Structure 1
Amino acid sequence: MIRKLSVQDNDKLMEYLKEEASMNLFIIGDIENFGYDKDFMDLWGDFDDNGNYRGVLLRYYNSVIIYAKGDFDVFGFADIMKGFECVEVISGKGGVTEKFENIPGLKLGERRPTYLCELKDSSSLAAISDVSKVKKAGVNDVDRIMELWSITSEFSPVTGSTRRSTKNKLETKSGRVFYIEENGKIISSASTTAENSVSAMIVGVSTHPNHRNKGYATLCMNVLCRELLSEGRLLCLFYDNPVAGKIYKSLGFRDIGIWNMHKN
């Protein structure tokens, strides 16, 4: 049985989602930040005959995330998505979104899989003798962060939306940025987004092309990870570059699954 969820479902829903907290970082964060009564967001649950969750569907503006641990009502969720005015992105756990491929009448773009990895403790983080190089960004640093990202191929092009979202996450404390500067310019950074009570997503790991292979990004990551772990949060990130994956694993991150994204 599929039905729309409300605040009355919150406790059992969170219990279900937190069994794989990193995999459900975006859903948990959106619920904590926006609740159940916003017109830009809907939550739907699929239940078995005993009232236990089998799957969850989140619509956030024109994006959809689907989560399930086993069998669920694929065609029921597909019918719900067909009823949405516009779906630009469908994403979710590997093994879940594939079930929607080739369903008649459901637009589903080409699948782009990435690795999802997780860091639970600081045991593999290198000791830091001097953290004075690494600084925590404030709202006034946004333009300098954008300047770095605009010349880093992984993040180009940087748009007005990128600037607004970065400024917003610093203002609302839903994300943070650590950086290293030289002569007043930011030359390396690591940041988070979608922070919630149990986890955070690492993004924006970047170093100026003229300052690479000096360990700056790793140092920013180390300080960032230590602060979040000290707050009792799990850390997770996506990667599809084996070289980047090797760096993350040296810090203690471990692969926990595949995350699929389909852009329509």
Structure 2
Amino acid sequence: MEIRKLSRENHQEVLDLFADETPYYYFLINELLDNNYSGEAFRVYGEYEGDQLVSILLNNFGNLTYYAKTLRDVAVYQEILPRLSYFKLSGPSELMAQFLPLVPVKSDTLSYMGVVKNIVAQRRYPQLSVRRISSEGELEMHYDLLQSTQEYNLEVSRDEYVAKELKRLQGSQDRRVYLSVDNKMVCACGTVKESRNSAIVIGVVTHPDYRRRGYGTEVLIGLFESLLEEGKYPYLFYNNPAARRVYKNLGMEEVCQWRVVMVDEESK
């Protein structure tokens, strides 16, 4: 076994490693390409058996993610762990569990990850437009929508939120979309890490007064339709049983259980 630092030149080997599971991990593969396999807070390592790449370890912005086609002994990476900067580990549950004996665990959380390749549900309110947020006024309404719920507890003012979100949306491919009823924003969702053929869906929220009417499902279908038309697979991370049912009813394929491990940095 040999551990090597990977570069853009190793990209085909990485694709060969993911092989038929590549569509399940476009969001991860795109992150490698978008960062050109390198950077101050971005490093990629590979485990080789002879000349064949058999696993990768990605250290990206304080996070460690590991991928292999089968369960392997991850102790081969133990020597380089002290040289890496991380406070969190995340990835497929069974794979990341191999690292638990190697790091001081602060918390260990399980959720799920899925991908939408096809939508199997029909829109219930086709007369309502799913719109993309593009103005300060729409972001102000989005702030008010978030504040109306118990799920979101924003610790910034409306002006701060609008300025930060506007800068983020204008400086990336990410988007926020919403559904309006009687000129009121009643539900919304968005994307992060949107790239060439993938987007991670976040922030699904519905105003408490408009729940159980299918509006949340409606805005998700609208977002999924837009992304798929652009050749981008939507990826979802979730631990809520109700959300899981909704996503599956829309056509989501559940890929794996997803593990997030927070590291006790004082004990590293």
* Residue aligning to 1:27: 28
Distance in 2 separating the partners of 1:162 and 1:21: 36
* Residue aligning to 2:266: none
Deviations 1:204-252 (A, max 9, x none): 1101112211211111101111111112222220111111111111111
Structure 1 residue 228 corresponds to structure 2 residue 221: no
* Residue aligning to 1:148: 145
Q: Which runs of 5+ in 2 are unaligned?
A: 264-268
Structure 1 residue 44 corresponds to structure 2 residue 41: no
Deviations 1:133-178 (A, max 9, x none): 3211125333432332233333324558977774455224432111
Q: Closer, same or farther in 2 for the Cα pair 1:164/1:56, shift >3 Å? A: farther
Q: Closer, same or farther in 2 for the Cα pair 1:23/1:82, shift >3 Å? A: farther
Match of 1:136 among 117, 132, 137: 132
Q: Which runs of 5+ in 1 are unaligned?
A: none
Distance in 2 separating the partners of 1:15 and 1:236: 21
Distance in 2 separating the partners of 1:171 and 1:203: 18
1:118·1:235 contact (CA, 8 Å) conserved in 2?
Answer: yes
2:128·2:180 contact (CA, 8 Å) conserved in 1?
Answer: no
Map 1:156-167 → 2, pairs under 5 A: 156-157=153-154, 166-167=165-166
Q: Could you list the runs of 4 or more consecutive aligned residues of structure 1 that deviate by over 4 angstroms after TM superposition?
A: 158-166, 182-185
* Residue aligning to 1:63: 63
* Residue aligning to 1:174: 173
1:46·1:73 contact (CA, 8 Å) conserved in 2?
Answer: no
* Residue aligning to 1:242: 241
TM-score by length of 1: 0.86
Equivalent position SS for 1:154: coil
* Residue aligning to 2:186: 187
Q: Closer, same or farther in 2 for the Cα pair 1:75/1:32, shift >3 Å? A: same
* Residue aligning to 1:102: 101
Query: When the two structures are aligned, how many residues end up with a matched partner?
Result: 259
- What's the offset of the Cα at 1:6? 1.2
1:28·1:196 contact (CA, 8 Å) conserved in 2?
Answer: no
Deviations 1:51-105 (A, max 9, x none): 2222111112211111122144511223322222x421111112111111223xx
Distance in 2 separating the partners of 1:239 and 1:139: 29
- What's the offset of the Cα at 1:24? 2.9
Distance in 2 separating the partners of 1:18 and 1:193: 25
1:177·1:191 contact (CA, 8 Å) conserved in 2?
Answer: yes
Alpha-carbon RMSD across the aligned residues, in angstroms, is: 2.6
Amino acid at match of 2:121: L
1:169·1:176 contact (CA, 8 Å) conserved in 2?
Answer: no
Distance in 1 separating the partners of 2:106 and 2:95: 15
Q: Closer, same or farther in 2 for the Cα pair 1:28/1:163, shift >3 Å? A: farther
Deviations 1:20-54 (A, max 9, x none): 345534432322322133111111111222x2222
TM-score by length of 2: 0.85
Q: Closer, same or farther in 2 for the Cα pair 1:23/1:66, shift >3 Å? A: farther
Q: Closer, same or farther in 2 for the Cα pair 1:231/1:42, shift >3 Å? A: same
Distance in 2 separating the partners of 1:145 and 1:227: 20
Deviations 1:165-203 (A, max 9, x none): 744552244321110235665321011112222322111
Distance in 1 separating the partners of 2:162 and 2:18: 30
Q: Closer, same or farther in 2 for the Cα pair 1:166/1:21, shift >3 Å? A: farther
* Residue aligning to 1:212: 211
